[in-house]
Amino acid sequence: MYNGLQTLQTPCLLLDKITFLHNVSRMEQHLAHFNIPLRPHLKTVKSLTAASYLLANKQAGCTVSTLKEAETFAAEGYTNITYAVGITEDKLQRVLALINQGVELTILLDSMEQAMFVSRFCTEYDCQIDCLIELDCDGHRAGLTPKNKEIVTIATILDNQGLYKGLLTHAGGAYTCNTQAQLIQFAEKERLAVITAASLLEEAGLSTQVLSIGSTPTALSTQNLAGITEVRAGVYPFFDLVMAGIGVCDIEDIALTVLTRVTGVKRSENKLFIDAGWMALSRDRGTHNQTLDCGYGLVCDQHGTLIPGLSVTKTNQEHGIIECEPGFALPDLKHGDLLRILPNHACATAAQHSGYHVLSHDDIEFWPRFSGW
């Protein structure tokens, strides 16, 4: 199986296609119960080929984190894009260029200042930019708390020009969960945040078209999507050790690994050296505060089977050091042997690479990635 691995230059990124497709289908099936559309967040995959498996067609809605993503997917023919990071004024010209190409591009904001400059811009350029107001459902990041009266003021400014479209929130705090009960609670927090704000807006005579929530952990855990119009999620096609630590997937569900070769064996110190350092794995230490701290990643053999007791404990730019937990024996590996490292955070690890080597039956495809802003 996959003899082709031997021909790959290491380090490189591997994607197990069967697991990837299984993960995609799991999320789709979960949301199908609620009959609520998924708007995949393409910041994780950043690949046209990968995106084609996440989106039913090019009119299906997607989410992006940069204008570069919006432009790249628009150039491929995708027409319904939510740019889900708070807008700055200097970025509006690129937003307008996309709208003028026929893209239904929606932007995000959470302040009067932003509402004012978007409104001024639309007047000046005689254009229409659909806006979502960002809500803070868990104190995690940006956004306004759901009962903040500023929401009505902002929506009113926007609505006067037909720019107000809806509300969006993301329960980033769900990444600290480790029980199903907590996840369900965070999912409900997300839902209640947009429902609450939408009610207040309705009382003020403002109609909310889009009620958008989501993160991979909450989307997979939610038991109630009443009133919601769409769910966003990004990392679910790949999963990673952080998601396994939260409990929304098993380690076997992680579709992404970094292929590496053993570059040294220090048996006396119970250490292996590999040619994957932080440049290939990223510096992400997302499992640091979880019950199982995985260092810079757990270790699989070349077939993707976990080798118990090993983790990448240190990284330099192009060196990784694998150490053995007490009670486990260093496996009988030698110079040049292939290993696969499971990533803490798939978004960060994938971003270090120019593409995915996709393991598909006995074939290896290559799906290019892009980066930048």
Which spans of this chain sit near a copy of itself (rule: CB under 8 A)?
Answer: 6, 9-12, 43, 65-67, 85-91, 94, 110-111, 113-114, 117, 141-142, 172, 261, 263-265, 273, 275, 278-280, 282-285, 316-319, 321, 334-336, 347-348, 351-354, 371-373
What is the smallest separation between the CB atom of 205 and a copy of itself, expressed in angstroms?
27
**Please, which residue, 209 or 371, has the CB nearer to a copy of itself?**
371
**Please, which residue, 174 or 225, has the CB nearer to a copy of itself?**
174
What is the smallest separation between the CB atom of 18 and a copy of itself, expressed in angstroms?
26
What is the smallest separation between the CB atom of 226 and a copy of itself, expressed in angstroms?
28
Helices (H) and strands (E) in the chain, counts: 11, 17
| Radius of gyration in angstroms for the set of CA atoms belonging to the chain, rounded to a whole number | 22
Return all residues near 120 (Cβ < 8 A) that are at least 6 apart. Answer: none
Choose among 240, 243, 191, 262: nearest CA to 342.
240
> Can you say how many angstroms the Cα of residue 6 is from the centroid of all Cα atoms in its chain?
30
Which helix (H) or strand (E) element contains residue 366?
A: strand 363-368
**Please, which residue, 30 or 369, has the CB nearer to a copy of itself?**
369
What is the smallest separation between the CB atom of 352 and a copy of itself, expressed in angstroms?
8
**Please, which residue, 7 or 291, has the CB nearer to a copy of itself?**
7
Handedness of CA 57, 59, 61, 67 (dihedral sign): positive
**Please, which residue, 283 or 303, has the CB nearer to a copy of itself?**
283
The H-assigned helical ranges of the chain are: 17-32, 48-54, 67-75, 92-100, 112-124, 150-159, 180-203, 216-221, 241-246, 278-281, 346-350
**Please, which residue, 12 or 36, has the CB nearer to a copy of itself?**
12
**3-state SS assignment for residue 131:** strand
**Please, which residue, 102 or 372, has the CB nearer to a copy of itself?**
372
Check if the beta carbon of residue 343 is closer than 8 Å to that of residue 281: yes
CA distance 139 to 136: 6
Q: Pairing state of beta strands 80-86 and 104-109? A: parallel
Check if the beta carbon of residue 58 is closer than 8 Å to that of residue 77: yes
**Please, which residue, 30 or 40, has the CB nearer to a copy of itself?**
40
Check if the beta carbon of residue 168 is closer than 8 Å to that of residue 134: yes
What is the smallest separation between the CB atom of 224 and a copy of itself, expressed in angstroms?
26
What is the smallest separation between the CB atom of 175 and a copy of itself, expressed in angstroms?
10
Eight-state DSSP code of residue 317: S
What is the smallest separation between the CB atom of 372 and a copy of itself, expressed in angstroms?
5
